[in-house]
């Protein structure tokens, strides 16, 4: 991979503990204000925000190293059942004409930090939504809620479970017990670690399903009736050794620059930023330092902080906004 690809990658990559925390803070703020999030994210918002706060505290208390390898990055993966912080190393990256990553090959290592969503008692869950416990249990029995399990003490529901919608929840069941697999609690084939059914019915009234082993290899791909699926799901939901993960997944893999909606170094050419510095009313030595920081693949935050200390951050914000408008106008005239 060439120097240009490396520069673009490192402009985006989350390399440090500080950048992890900034990305988490930015995600939480946008989630609270309904900005640019899927309907699933909004659906689970209150519990997700609480879970992210717990995760952020764990990151604060962790001795997280700076990733020195050129094509290494941290990524935060958020699902309805947990949040993981992983380190990823890329071996091949290809860019499209707009300098966006078109394809990449990478290796993801074991999670560095993981926090699981809690299971609430059915009483706690019902209280959250100001409903009767019997109503909540009825939701489970009719599979409107699948993030649940039956314990000796009664039903428990995942804290990230939101108010059920009319549509059935799509997702996968996977085995988390120490011994056995999904066949030990249901009629699925021996060795099945993960099971997924697709909720859109075929013309013949059947639904497609797939089951996989612990290595992600396909064991079976077939069809199942709604009645058969209901019976199967009843058994899976009840088991303490099975978790349901829905299709909601958010991956945070780009650093943020506090005070900016987008990383200015990704939307404005470096040459233009250097020209902005050259025109500032500052001593040449100071401008030279600013240019050096601006050229640094990972110097965005330091560049912004230095401008702020010089009371020039607002000037830079104005410059960025004007640059975006000029770029939009040029694209309009080109088309």
What is the tens place of the pLDDT at every residue in 191-219? 999 999 876 666 667 888 999 998 889 99
The pLDDT, as a whole number, for residue 327 is 63
The pLDDT of residue 205: 74
287-303 per-position pLDDT tens digit: 999 999 988 877 888 89
Q: Look at residue 48 in the predicted model and tell me its pLDDT.
A: 81
> Please, are residues 144 and 109 in contact by the beta-carbon 8 Å criterion?
no
Q: What is the DSSP letter of 14?
A: B
Category of 191 on φ-ψ map: left (φ > 0), alpha (ψ -120 to 50) or beta: left
Kindly state the tokens that stand for 203.
């013309």
The number of residues in the chain equals 335
Burial 157-168 (b: 16+ CB within 10 A, else e): bbbbbbebeeeb
Residue 168: predicted pLDDT: 65
The tens digit of pLDDT for each residue in 237-250 reads 999 999 998 877 88
Low-confidence ranges of the chain (pLDDT < 70): 1, 34-44, 98-99, 166-168, 199-204, 327-335
Q: Does residue 82 contact residue 147 with C-beta atoms inside 8 Å?
A: no
Q: What is the pLDDT of residue 278?
A: 93
In angstroms, rounded to a whole number, what is the distance separating the alpha carbons of residues 282 and 183?
71
Burial letters 42-68, b for 16+ CB under 10 A, else e: ebbbebbeebbeebbeebeeeebeebe
Is the distance from CB of 246 to CB of 147 less than 8 angstroms? yes
Alpha-carbon span 7 to 5, nearest angstrom: 5
Q: Give CA separation, 91 vs 70, 72, 94, 96, 108, in Å.
A: 10, 9, 10, 17, 11
Cα 70 to Cα 112, 122, 140, 156, 203, distances in angstroms: 19, 48, 48, 45, 51
Per-residue confidence (pLDDT) for residue 267, from 0 to 100: 80
Q: CA-to-CA distance for 135 and 321, rounded, in angstroms?
A: 52
Q: Which residue in this structure is represented by tokens 């005239």?
A: 333
- Sign of torsion over alpha carbons 256, 261, 264, 265: positive
- Distance CA(249)–CA(80), nearest Å, equals 7
List 209's β-bridge partners, or say none: 197, 222
pLDDT, residue 203, reads 64
Closest CA to 147 of 119, 127, 128, 124: 119
SS3 state of residue 97: coil
User: In this predicted structure, what is the pLDDT of residue 226?
Assistant: 86
Cα–chain-centroid distance for residue 25? 13
23 backbone dihedrals φ, ψ, rounded to 5°: -65, -40
Instruction: Specify the pLDDT at position 248.
Output: 75
């Amino acid at each position: 991979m060439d120097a240009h690809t490396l520069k673009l990658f490192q402009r985006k990559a989350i390399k440090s503990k500080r950048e992890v925390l900034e990305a988490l803070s930015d995600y939480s703020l946008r989630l609270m204000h309904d900005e640019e999030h899927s309907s699933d994210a909004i659906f689970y918002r209150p519990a997700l925000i609480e879970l992210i706060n717990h995760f952020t505290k764990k990151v604060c208390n962790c001795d997280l190293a700076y990733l020195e390898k050129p094509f290494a990055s941290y990524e935060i993966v958020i699902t309805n059942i947990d949040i993981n912080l992983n380190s990823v190393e890329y071996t091949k990256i290809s860019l499209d004409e707009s300098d966006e990553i078109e394809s990449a090959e990478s290796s993801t290592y074991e999670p560095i930090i993981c926090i699981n969503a809690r299971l609430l008692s059915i009483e706690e869950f019902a209280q959250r939504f100001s409903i009767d416990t019997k109503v909540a249990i009825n939701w489970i029995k009719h599979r409107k809620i699948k993030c649940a399990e039956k314990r000796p003490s009664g039903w428990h529901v995942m804290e990230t479970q939101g108010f059920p919608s009319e549509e059935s929840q799509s997702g996968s069941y996977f085995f988390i017990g120490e011994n056995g697999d999904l066949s030990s609690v249901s009629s699925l084939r021996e060795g099945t670690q993960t099971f997924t059914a697709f909720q859109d019915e075929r013309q013949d009234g059947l639904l497609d399903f797939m089951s996989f082993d612990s290595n992600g290899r396909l064991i079976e791909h077939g069809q199942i009736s709604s009645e058969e699926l209901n019976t199967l799901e009843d058994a899976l939901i009840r088991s303490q050794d099975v978790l349901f993960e829905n299709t909601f997944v958010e991956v945070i893999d780009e650093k943020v620059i506090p005070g900016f909606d987008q990383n200015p170094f990704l939307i404005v050419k470096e040459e233009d930023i250097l020209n902005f510095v050259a025109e500032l009313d500052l001593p040449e030595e100071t401008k030279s330092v600013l240019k050096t920081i601006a050229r640094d693949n990972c110097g965005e935050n330091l560049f912004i902080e230095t401008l702020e200390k010089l009371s020039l951050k607002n000037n830079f914000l104005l410059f960025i906004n004007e640059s975006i408008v000029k770029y939009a106008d040029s694209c309009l005239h080109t088309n």
